Amino acid sequence: MRLLLLSSILLISLQSSFAQSTIQKKIDALATHTNLIHGQLSVALMDVENNRLIAGHRADKTMIPASSLKVLVTGIALKKLGKDYRFKTELTYDGTITADGVLQGNLIIRGYGDPTLGSHHFTQAETHDIVLKKWTDAIRKAGIKKIEGYIIGDASYFSTQVDGRTWLWEDLGNYYGAGAWGLNFHENLYHLDLQQNGKLGATPPVVNVRPTVPNLRLVNELTQGKKGSGDNAYIFGSNYGYTRFIRGTIPVGSGTFSIKGSVPDPPFFAAFHLMQNLEKSGIATSQRAASLYQLEQEGITIGKTTVINTYFSPSLQKIVKETNLKSVNLYCEALLRLLGKTEKGDAHPSRGLEVIVEYLNNSGLPTAGLFLKDASGLSPRNAVSARHLTAYLAFLKKQNDVFPDFKASLPVGGKSGSLKYLFRGTIAENKVFAKSGGMDRVRSYSGYVQNRAGKWLAFSIIANNFTGKSAIMRKEMEKLMLAFCQ
């Protein structure tokens, strides 16, 4: 019996060693791939039970991770804030309300960083028109029929550093580079509808901006590329700036082609749309809509306020799931600033990054060589190794109060998110849980696999400066993740 037991243990050990050897050979093969001759690769595969590195390649080489970086802030936010945390937004006024319903003061939307406020695609949040109606109903219920003061968007809960200091100019004017404000609205984006035609090289005219962005000035330098060339259009512009240049190409066609841009000043944007809604509903306004920041530059301040409505976001559990499944930069950056605010009393993004690094250090996780510039991975100056991410993921797997919700937020092989069309009909289907990342010459995957034996492994694969199409590198990484599941 003892001999049989020893034989079984030896067989399992040999099988494990063989599997590890096979995986290492596949990693080595990827490292010498033709498309990586001039590039870099960092890979780490770790047994979460004993934190042992099973296989890898230059695991400590720091790389640009792109959106794989999101696993850090989403996991730490769940730990620090709790899955039931909800952002709030207050509708308030200063001054007094007269007996005949005149507000002798200002109406203020005070934000506390909710990135989902008025979201158009988050099914757990209410769209902007519903939010505006609820606010209008609350104003009417408070007895207000006319407003003599300003309609104000107050974003002062967070700092004015709304974007990443090292984000690229070509990203800032597009929806994914909108940044995170103390008051966000409609995910800080607008839809730009363009009318296609059949002429190659022609400029497709702008036919609509949805919702309306007041004061927006569009300089259309866009041209039409060949049929099927896809969306290669970029909107150039910065926060607080209203002149935007549209450059690049969209394909020829006969329909309407839509792209998405970032709103220059979301607090003003929210105040403007509330004022428009009030006017349509018969509640008169006398002054203009403005952000608190704008008014403060003019020497105008607000007095003691009274709350007439408090609006709550979906739970953090649901926000984190949306963040990782759809890779929403805005949500991630809002969480970073919230961590800075709650832990350091300062919502500047640098303080949120301090919280992340301190958490890793206090958890005994590696941070040497870790350089963080944002939470979403949009900055090309982030530098993270596969070991950094894998060690954190292995640590997180043991956090029973966090891991179930975090795992539920990750795309699943063959089922959801960026992994929906990968691994179908293979052993890896429903066994890979990972956040992907991608930008120009960057591709990454970081997460977990559950292998054939039921063992949980944490992994990270990051490739930079590869040649050839990104789809080729993605396919090679897919093969590697499939091997992890064996």
Supply the DSSP symbol for 345: S
Rounded distance, CA 376 to CA 73, Å? Answer: 8
Residue (of 168, 97, 169) closest to 139 by Cα position: 97
Within 13 Å, how many C-alpha atoms sit on residue 230's CB side?
A: 1
At 233, is the secondary structure helix, strand, or coil? strand
Q: Beta-carbon neighbour count of residue 73 at 10 Å? A: 29
Which residue spans within 107-148 are E strands per DSSP? Answer: 107-111, 146-147
Q: What is the pLDDT along the chain (486 residues), one digit of tens a residue?
A: 554 444 444 334 434 555 678 999 999 999 999 999 999 999 999 999 999 999 999 999 999 999 999 999 999 999 999 999 999 999 999 999 999 999 999 999 999 999 999 999 898 999 999 999 999 999 999 999 999 999 999 999 999 999 999 999 999 999 999 999 999 999 999 999 999 999 999 999 999 999 999 999 999 999 999 999 999 999 999 999 999 999 999 999 999 999 999 999 999 999 999 999 999 999 999 999 999 999 999 999 999 999 999 999 999 999 999 999 999 999 999 999 999 999 999 999 999 999 999 999 999 999 999 999 999 999 999 999 999 999 999 999 999 999 999 999 999 999 999 999 999 999 999 999 999 999 999 999 999 999 999 999 999 999 999 999 999 999 999 999 999 999
Long-range contact set of residues 346-354: C-beta below 8 Å, sequence gap at least 24: 346/159, 347/113, 347/157, 347/158, 347/159, 347/182, 348/159, 348/161, 349/159, 349/161, 349/164, 349/374, 349/375, 352/73
Q: Beta-carbon neighbour count of residue 89 at 10 Å? A: 26
Rounded distance, CA 305 to CA 317, Å? Answer: 31
User: What angle in degrees, to the nearest 10, is found between the helix axes of 70-81 and 329-344?
Assistant: 40
Which residue spans within 223-318 are E strands per DSSP? Answer: 223-225, 232-236, 243-251, 256-262, 284-285, 289-291, 305-312
Q: Beta-carbon neighbour count of residue 454 at 10 Å? A: 7
Q: Which amino acid is at 486?
A: Q
Length of the chain: 486
Query: What are the distances in angstroms from CA 428 to CA 112, 221, 482?
Result: 41, 45, 6
CB 336 within 8 A of CB 378: no
CB 106 within 8 A of CB 304: no
At 459, is the secondary structure helix, strand, or coil? strand
CB 464 within 8 A of CB 442: yes
Rounded distance, CA 44 to CA 391, Å? Answer: 9
Supply the DSSP symbol for 208: E
